[in-house]
Structure 1
Amino acid sequence: MSIDSNSNADICTDCTTQDTDENETTSLLINGSVQSRARGASFFSSVFNLMNAIMGSGILGLAYAMASTGIIGFCILLTLVSSLAAYSIHLLLKLCDQTGINSYEDLGGIALKYPGKVLVGIAIIIQNIGAMSSYLFILKLELPAAIKGFLTPDNTGDAWYDDGRWLLILVTLCVVLPLAMLPRIGFLGYTSSLAFCFMLYFTVVVVVKKWSIPCPLPHNATTPSSTNQQTSNSSDSECAPKLFVLSRESAYAVPTMAFSFLCHTAVLPIYCELERPTKARMQSVANVGISLSFLVYLVSALFGYLTFYAHVNSQLLLGYDAYMPRDIMVVTVRLAILLSVLLTVPLIHFPARKAVILLLRGRRPFSWPVHVFATLTILCVVLVMAIFVPDIRNVFGVVGSTTSSCLLFIFPGVFYLRISSQPLTSFDSVGAVLLVAFGIAMGVTSFTVIILTWVQSS
């Protein structure tokens, strides 16, 4: 990894998304070159780690995004967002080579001084709080159904575990809080392979169950007679996939995709740990990881949409409850997703807490009181959001149109224009301008439509 001779020689030693005292990888500037003291990660291991950073709760909302944009519209938008995500990673890697900085926050500091560092830190905090809220939201909705799946119908009356809010509070206090409180949580990294396997299993189940639920769907699953009252014309219209759709709900599509492809806070740490780290090699890691994630997203969204069509739920798993609540594959995939989500929340919490402490205290020595206070504060905010937010699409829409668009599109372009010495007419400079313009246009348009939708609904 080369460094421009005129660049700032400040090498960020924080090459992981965990706290400073947890680092196992450190980059040093020796005689003008970066040398890593850690064992390098292989190419395929780095691809796998990046895919785990990309794929998360967004996969549950992409079928709804397809229903809101149509199949062809969704494919075009998903291709555009994934391509721009790969290009913005290209710009970040060029800046990393030029400056020797391996931290997103520090790149903001180089580009825009202290305000830039603060902006990036705030964006990371909001983004990760939104991600954790979406994960806990899934737990709130799916955990009661998962418990009922293992009980006999006689034991599924009104019980305390029917209320997902109480279950969410209990799980947060008993599982999430102890894991998030630990100053060293590296052992949870071994669960990343399981989390990715769970996502693949989810996709397989969505494909298989496409042929298990007949079309047309009853509008009320608890009254099967409603199916017999549907006319043939309505059946044809309900079972016909839409190629292009444009409505107010379409405003949630691109932010959901941006939310689903955001991995930029993990790219530089993965680059730092890569065996034989070169920009071309890391760009190949990013391209392969984004491409494979694109395929998993597309397949799960397509078959989820072709199962429920216009009646697809904003949280895809909920759609199966009305038609096959005790199906063994649905029950097992629900447990797989819940386990993946449960073990991912503490990991997402770490960079958010790190950004909070960095903004409040700088790089001062570790302090247990500050550590505990930041942990409890963040988890309380996340828990309140997960309990009171009525729909997961609101999390995807708001976070995706604001912080995701900034971290994915706007910040990489602005930082490149501020730091790079390339002329404004060069290819990457023009690309950076277009990236910033797209991010601003997408974010402002989507956020405005979402707010107007809320106002009209209220």
Structure 2
Amino acid sequence: MSINGNGNAELYSQPARRDTEGTETTPLLSNPSRVRGASFASSVFNVMNAIMGSGILGLSYAMASTGIVGFSILLTLVSSLAAYSIHLLLKLCDLTGINSYEDLGGQALQKPGKVLVGITILIQNIGAMSSYLVILKSELPAAITSFLSPDHKGGAWYEDGTLLLMLVTVCVVLPLAILPKIGFLGYTSSLAFFFMLYFAIVVVVKKWSIPCPLPQNVTMFMETYRQVSNSSGTECTPKLFIVSSRSAYAIPTMAFSFLCHTAVLPIYCELDRPTKARMQNVANVSISLSFLLYVISALFGYLTFYAYVDSELLLSYDAYIPRDIMVMTVRLAILIAVLLTVPLIHFPARKAVILLLRGNRPFSWLTHIGTTVVILGVVLLLAIYVPDIRNVFGVVGSTTSSCLLFVFPGFFYLKISSQPLPSFDSVGAVCLVVFGLIMGVVSFSIIIFTWVQSS
């Protein structure tokens, strides 16, 4: 067993084998000197935390753009493809003895493949972390202010989004990101999961306390949402299928909401008794629970506001019940969950940088800490000084996310595996590549078209 640049146990480059009882094992598992890894529950929470972020806030809008049945079909398709692409990655890990996404790229395309995957992971994760910190910068002061008296005059230091962002990055994100193993984040990931669960519960509860149609005296709410709504007088009737220009945003939104592949292999490496079947169970449980929370929150958010739902669901509640205590607390809970997700996203970004710069050299605390500080510094500067960070990384995300979620797993399997093309997994890999390319091109084109149209 060797130690990679992040202090994690690496697999030898040899295929999986079976023990005397016929149980599938890996070189990592069979090494008697390996310390006990992360538990099954901790790994599930980590994968769920990698899956679930601020994307949960936009799925009600996706349902309002596609209809209840249309949304359910698309979400089932994307989540199933996400689970299947993880299956291909884990199968390649056991086939080659490699447990790094970057090294799988190297196995498929030599050094250019390794560099391509590393850069893709770095761009994707820096974009995701920057967008999360932008959310914190804009929403955290408002969340704190909502708990203060309505007579509060403002101007306090805790209402400065930039200052708050710097404080939470140094005091919370940096200590968690500097941990040498991703398994340590299982505790914070479990906390983030329960915050997401609380969000789903609040959305269900508020469905029964907000009337439909919305009161006519809520003029600010009506004026805000009628500008973006195509309501035709049946605003309290749920739609099963909707096809419009907004529907094209649904699949990219769902795909981004299930992207966890850069964290799956590091989590697999640190899993206790790490067989492919055990890690696949971790992924399946995580995706299933995330799917359930996504559907519940999206459905009841849509059934509360129908065509008037905002692209960020909490803004709809702010317009109607701005100082409701449950909405105030769930807003703060979501911000904390987003904050706790940043260190988990940071882990594969740092791993990619160290692998590209140092290869598989022994672990170095100096390199580990230096890389952590530099990446967080870049992300913090982007969040502070780039005003259109979501638009900038919208283009990056539409390309890198589709590559990491669909294109790379399918393409690498076709290059590395010796399975004939008519086999089930080979056909599935081809479908992943085709779907990922179509989704990436379509979402990229839509973003560019939106920019041109708005200008």
1:328 match: 325
Q: How much identity, in percent, do the aligned residues show?
A: 77
Q: CA deviation at 1:120?
A: 1.1
Select 2:256's aligned residue among 259, 272, 277.
259
2:352 match: 355
Q: Could you tell me which runs of 5 or more consecutive residues in structure 2 were left unpaired when the two chains were aligned.
A: 18-25
For these two proteins, the number of residue pairs brought into alignment is 438
Q: Describe the shift of the 1:223–1:158 C-alpha distance in structure 2 as closer, same or farther (beyond 3 A).
A: farther
Q: CA deviation at 1:448?
A: 0.7
2:131 match: 134
Q: Describe the shift of the 1:378–1:26 C-alpha distance in structure 2 as closer, same or farther (beyond 3 A).
A: closer
Equivalent positions of 1:360-379 (< 5 A) are: 360-364=357-361, 371=368, 374-379=371-376
* Rounded Cα–Cα distance in structure 1 between residues aligned with 2:378 and 2:406: 26
Q: CA deviation at 1:127?
A: 1.8
- Say which SS state the counterpart of residue 237 (structure 1) adopts: coil
Q: CA deviation at 1:82?
A: 0.5
Q: Describe the shift of the 1:219–1:70 C-alpha distance in structure 2 as closer, same or farther (beyond 3 A).
A: farther
Q: CA deviation at 1:48?
A: 3.5
* Rounded Cα–Cα distance in structure 1 between residues aligned with 2:216 and 2:380: 32
Q: CA deviation at 1:138?
A: 2.4
Select 1:63's aligned residue among 52, 60, 68.
60
* Rounded Cα–Cα distance in structure 2 between residues aligned with 1:58 and 1:249: 16
- Say which SS state the counterpart of residue 104 (structure 2) adopts: helix
1:424 match: 421
* Rounded Cα–Cα distance in structure 2 between residues aligned with 1:217 and 1:81: 33
Q: Could you tell me which runs of 5 or more consecutive residues in structure 1 were left unpaired when the two chains were aligned.
A: 1-10
Contact 1:259 1:399 in 2 (8 A): no
TM (normalized to structure 1)?
0.85
Equivalent positions of 1:27-106 (< 5 A) are: 27=11, 34=27, 35-36=30-31, 37-106=34-103
Name the Cα RMSD after superposition.
3.2
Asked if 1:203 corresponds to 2:200, the answer is yes
Of residues 360-369 and 334-343 in structure 1, the stretch that sits farther from structure 2 once superposed is 360-369
Select 2:398's aligned residue among 393, 396, 401.
401
Equivalent positions of 1:149-228 (< 5 A) are: 149-157=146-154, 161-177=158-174, 179-180=176-177, 187-217=184-214, 221=218, 223=220
Q: Describe the shift of the 1:451–1:380 C-alpha distance in structure 2 as closer, same or farther (beyond 3 A).
A: farther
1:20 match: 6
- Say which SS state the counterpart of residue 153 (structure 1) adopts: coil
Asked if 1:281 corresponds to 2:278, the answer is yes
* Rounded Cα–Cα distance in structure 1 between residues aligned with 2:389 and 2:59: 12
Q: Describe the shift of the 1:225–1:312 C-alpha distance in structure 2 as closer, same or farther (beyond 3 A).
A: closer
Q: Which amino acid aligns with 2:69?
A: I
Q: Which amino acid aligns with 1:115?
A: P
Q: CA deviation at 1:377?
A: 4.0
Q: Describe the shift of the 1:272–1:173 C-alpha distance in structure 2 as closer, same or farther (beyond 3 A).
A: closer
Contact 2:44 2:286 in 1 (8 A): yes
Q: Which amino acid aligns with 2:300?
A: F
Q: Which amino acid aligns with 1:386?
A: A
* Rounded Cα–Cα distance in structure 1 between residues aligned with 2:183 and 2:269: 17
Of residues 304-313 and 270-279 in structure 1, the stretch that sits farther from structure 2 once superposed is 270-279
Q: Which amino acid aligns with 1:261?
A: F
Q: CA deviation at 1:397?
A: 4.6
